[in-house]
């Protein structure tokens, strides 16, 4: 069976609109560039859809595996504890399951952005915009 | 006079080491790729050096302008209020001044990462690493 991959972009969530906007816009960019993947976004707290709601919204898409990726800059308690708990990941394997359309779909868990040349390039671009 | 530009990468700071590591590593990447710029990193709270300490560490480098760029994903109160207050930016112009080596050096203020194709590319890479 060919895998059909879903990507869930997980944002922190905020009372202000900015975090929600950034995460949703990034999800749209990925969806546009990679139409063979099914992209959703969900939020840990304060914004909607919640992570659980976003996960269930993969129903009907035929995804066979979902990569949940935190749209967070760095690791921390949200990454190591809170989000794995929401996703009910196995603490050993860092994998989980969600039931969609009567099938069990595997959830795998990605790293946050971290230090990467792409972030360095973007920070330099943000500096260039103002000097 | 030719401008010599400094870039101050401003992190949130954290009791955990991750935020500090990511911001410092990103600053190192920028410094390596753009040796004609003077790069420093500083933290809003909890980590060292503080933003003020990092700003003063441009002394002796000959910078004529400093771009302060928040290494934050999205805007919010830290971006619109807390960091501008630490940097004593003019609320109208979003610019400030710092006295270094007896000269007044202009501070300009960059945007946070925001939604950008570079972030979308990195989130997709983080998904690819696990599916």
Residues of A in contact with B72 (CB under 8 A): 73
Residue A113's pLDDT is what?
98
Q: What is the 3-state secondary structure (H, E, C) of B32-62?
A: HHCCCCEEEEEECCCCCCEHHHHHHCCCCCC
Residue A2's pLDDT is what?
85
Whether the complex's predicted ipTM is more than 0.90 is answered with: yes
Task: Tell me whether residue B12 is one of the annotated catalytic residues.
Answer: yes
Residues of A in contact with B23 (CB under 8 A): 74
Residue A30 clears pLDDT 90, i.e. is over it: yes
Please name the member of B37, B74, B121 whose beta carbon is closest to the beta carbon of A118: B121
A39 SS3 class? strand
pLDDT, tens digit (0-9, with 9 covering 90-100), for B75-89: 999 999 999 999 999
Direct distance between the N- and C-terminal alpha carbons of chain B, in angstroms, rounded to an integer = 53
Contact B72, B79 (CB under 8 A): yes
pLDDT, tens digit (0-9, with 9 covering 90-100), for A54-67: 999 999 999 999 99
Radius of gyration over every alpha carbon of chain A, rounded to an integer in angstroms: 15
Question: Average pLDDT for residues A22-27, to the nearest whole number?
Answer: 98
Which of B74, B83, B95 is best to mutate for the A interface (most A CBs within 10 A)?
Answer: B74
Q: What is the 3-state secondary structure (H, E, C) of B54-113?
A: HHHCCCCCCCCEEEEEECCCCCCHHHHHHHHHHCCCCCCCCCEEEEECCEEEEEEECCCC
Residue B1 clears pLDDT 80, i.e. is over it: no
pLDDT, tens digit (0-9, with 9 covering 90-100), for B12-62: 999 999 999 999 999 999 999 999 999 999 999 999 999 999 999 999 999
Contact B10, B71 (CB under 8 A): yes
- Contact between A73 and B19 using a beta-carbon 8 Å cutoff: yes
Of A10, A12, A38, A47, the catalytic one is A12
pTM of the model: 0.95
In whole angstroms, give the CA distance from residue B109 to residue B76. 15
Contact A45, A12 (CB under 8 A): yes
Direct distance between the N- and C-terminal alpha carbons of chain A, in angstroms, rounded to an integer = 53
């Amino acid at each position: 069976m060919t895998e059909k991959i879903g990507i869930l972009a997980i944002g922190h969530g905020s009372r202000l609109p900015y975090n929600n906007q950034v995460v949703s816009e990034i999800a749209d960019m990925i969806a546009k560039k990679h139409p063979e993947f099914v992209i959703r976004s969900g939020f840990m707290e304060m914004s909607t859809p919640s992570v659980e709601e976003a996960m269930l919204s993969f129903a009907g898409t035929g995804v066979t595996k979902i990569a949940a990726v935190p749209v967070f800059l760095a690791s921390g308690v949200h990454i190591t504890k809170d989000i794995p708990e929401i996703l009910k990941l196995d603490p050993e394997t860092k994998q989980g399951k969600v039931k969609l359309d009567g099938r069990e779909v595997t959830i795998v868990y990605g790293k946050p952005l971290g230090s990467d040349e792409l972030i360095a390039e973007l920070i330099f671009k943000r500096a260039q915009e103002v000097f």
